[in-house]
Structure 1
């Protein structure tokens, strides 16, 4: 193998001169605060992108989830069913409110929440007299959950549907943009996401009252009077105007960045689908038009003759970053003893799955380097 000259990262920020110019203009405007014209415009433009009447830009995807749960009235004593295969932020935000997460296992095809299992969990909780504060499914690695089925379940069980779409901004479900579903939808603009504001997130909602409540809580719950008056506890969760300027520039490039990630996934599929015991995580469906945020391989070691961990070691030796899939929340020490409906699928995907470099800035030469390592391991 030719000498390695640089690291290949999993999903680095894809920023350039457009973003630099936008940030410079924001700085020159003097609006270097969590308020300003770029922040207002970013919310308006992002809302238009997803077809949602209201958007509230905040400091992180975690903040978006926390605020949404509070706005839905979730609090101590409530239970909140959610995906067990997710980043810690989902479960942490539920815990912030004093509610208890109930972890629901995954489907093997894409790692998303098992809707049939979710129904049984909701029935058990209701029949047990527990208050279901909300339901929070997660779009794993940009794979979109069955929003249609989950919306129907939430209506049936009279529970607010809060979509953790942190990883799926730009995706569609049955032709409808992610961000336009549920009581609210929460996205992340962290540095490794499909588009970035460095750190940041956003909540989309159809309700003007919910949007007003979110903004109020995100600005320290300050009352609209001349002095500083607070009748309840709020949070310092608003996004900076400077970072919103970065987000506006990224939003204009979103379609091209998604197109590149799809091309990367196609290249992986062309190689991986030929290897016995190996598959790309996720389904190929016109109903689920995904942003391809991260492409992950799932390896059956008995059939392939090698494991995902073997590939991870070979990639690391070539200075290529990879990452196991999320360790399920029901296996995390921080949530030991939590209620969970488990089938073993999420744990199996954690042990057999590996996320591969998927960034929109991944050039063809670097992609070839990754594919060469995969071929060498596969023999």
Structure 2
């Protein structure tokens, strides 16, 4: 926590607004709208998953509609497609950003068109904080007139050509789950490009209650609104976001210095000057066929020293839940998953922690 979260929470208690109404929610949305700029309209919700679900509703995704989704992501990017009984079509990654491959995306669109249905949406992801290939994907979106739902759950503070992630989609999503770069304990936002979408999102997120003197409901709604307590935490967290991004990038520089002369370990990095990553997680891939230097051996070495590492996201097309759905690409994301590992990346890593990590890596290499 940054320090001021308790002040905003106390305000909620003092004014007796602790549920899904109150000034913290309004202020949190306003702060985010100013931070993102670019004509952003923010609706604070209970999770990033809820935001993706509402985005699909706003785009009228219905049963048996096609929705194109990046395979290399957390399951929350794809589950809401099934909520709507729609059909996910999974697309491979390219090697520079690990995100949606433009060539495979176009192949997927052409497949859907041959089935007689244009996809209702394309869900892009900025994986581990790395912006996707924005220009290329937006060009395809515009050419085929398919709206983009931008999943920037992991990418708050990242930019492409100096524009913030979370502002490139027709609808965009950010998460404030407990593991993200800042948190509201649990929560997310839906970022719209106009007030109409924001109003519709708020309506659906509050049980689709109509503006009458009595409770009246004509369509299905959801209990998706963020609480005033969570929004108070968010207000305090936004005050320290810049420092959190700086710390994560310092972590990346730390790993970059360690791995600069390693031939068989590649640190996932920005592919060019247009990309600015918050480096939410620092990840590596281990190349070659050295039987000693493997991700399993490295993971074990860390674990024996009470340090947690994690596997990369297992691609959706390799998950039992989604194995029956179409996948387009050459399994680039599957290969990355097989070779990759997430390293300690928290903003609270101390110099002592880093010394311990460095020593383990040095001993592993020798």
Are the equivalent residues in 2 in contact too, given 1:85–1:346 (CA < 8 A)? yes
- The Cα of 1:125 is off from its aligned counterpart by 1.5
For 2:12, the equivalent position in structure 1 comes to: 26
Are the equivalent residues in 1 in contact too, given 2:109–2:118 (CA < 8 A)? no
For 1:8, the equivalent position in structure 2 comes to: none
What SS does the corresponding residue of 1:26 show, helix, strand or coil? helix
> Aligned partners of 2:324, 2:131: CA distance in 1, in Å?
28
What SS does the corresponding residue of 1:227 show, helix, strand or coil? coil
For 2:24, the equivalent position in structure 1 comes to: 38
**Cα-to-partner distance string for 1:4-30 (whole Å, 9 max, x where unaligned):** xxxxxxxxxxx1432233322322221
For 1:353, the equivalent position in structure 2 comes to: 340
For 2:77, the equivalent position in structure 1 comes to: 90
- The Cα of 1:117 is off from its aligned counterpart by 1.3
> Aligned partners of 1:133, 1:284: CA distance in 2, in Å?
30
For 2:87, the equivalent position in structure 1 comes to: 100
For 1:12, the equivalent position in structure 2 comes to: none
**Cα-to-partner distance string for 1:195-243 (whole Å, 9 max, x where unaligned):** 1001000011111111111000000000011211100010000000111
Where does 1:1-379 land on structure 2 (aligned, <5 Å)?
A: 15-51=1-37, 52-302=39-289, 305-379=292-366
> Aligned partners of 1:113, 1:27: CA distance in 2, in Å?
44
**Cα-to-partner distance string for 1:15-63 (whole Å, 9 max, x where unaligned):** 1432233322322221101111010010011011011331000000100
| Structure 1, unpaired ranges of 5+ | 1-14
Are the equivalent residues in 2 in contact too, given 1:168–1:178 (CA < 8 A)? yes
> Aligned partners of 1:33, 1:91: CA distance in 2, in Å?
29
Normalized against structure 2, the TM-score is what?
0.97
Cα distance change, pair 29–274 in 1 and its aligned pair in 2 (3 A): farther
What SS does the corresponding residue of 2:235 show, helix, strand or coil? helix
Deviates more, 1:111-120 or 1:211-220: 111-120
**Cα-to-partner distance string for 1:103-145 (whole Å, 9 max, x where unaligned):** 1111223321111211221122223312311000111100110
> Aligned partners of 1:205, 1:59: CA distance in 2, in Å?
16
Deviates more, 1:368-377 or 1:229-238: 368-377
> Aligned partners of 1:16, 1:289: CA distance in 2, in Å?
24
Are the equivalent residues in 1 in contact too, given 2:148–2:170 (CA < 8 A)? yes
> Aligned partners of 2:324, 2:246: CA distance in 1, in Å?
42
What SS does the corresponding residue of 2:358 show, helix, strand or coil? helix
Are the equivalent residues in 2 in contact too, given 1:61–1:189 (CA < 8 A)? yes
Aligned-residue RMSD, C-alpha? 1.3
- The Cα of 1:82 is off from its aligned counterpart by 1.0
Normalized against structure 1, the TM-score is what?
0.93
- In the alignment of these two chains, the number of paired residues is 365
| Structure 2, unpaired ranges of 5+ | none
What SS does the corresponding residue of 1:351 show, helix, strand or coil? helix
- The Cα of 1:168 is off from its aligned counterpart by 0.3
> Aligned partners of 1:285, 1:196: CA distance in 2, in Å?
29
- The Cα of 1:151 is off from its aligned counterpart by 1.4
> Aligned partners of 1:304, 1:205: CA distance in 2, in Å?
49
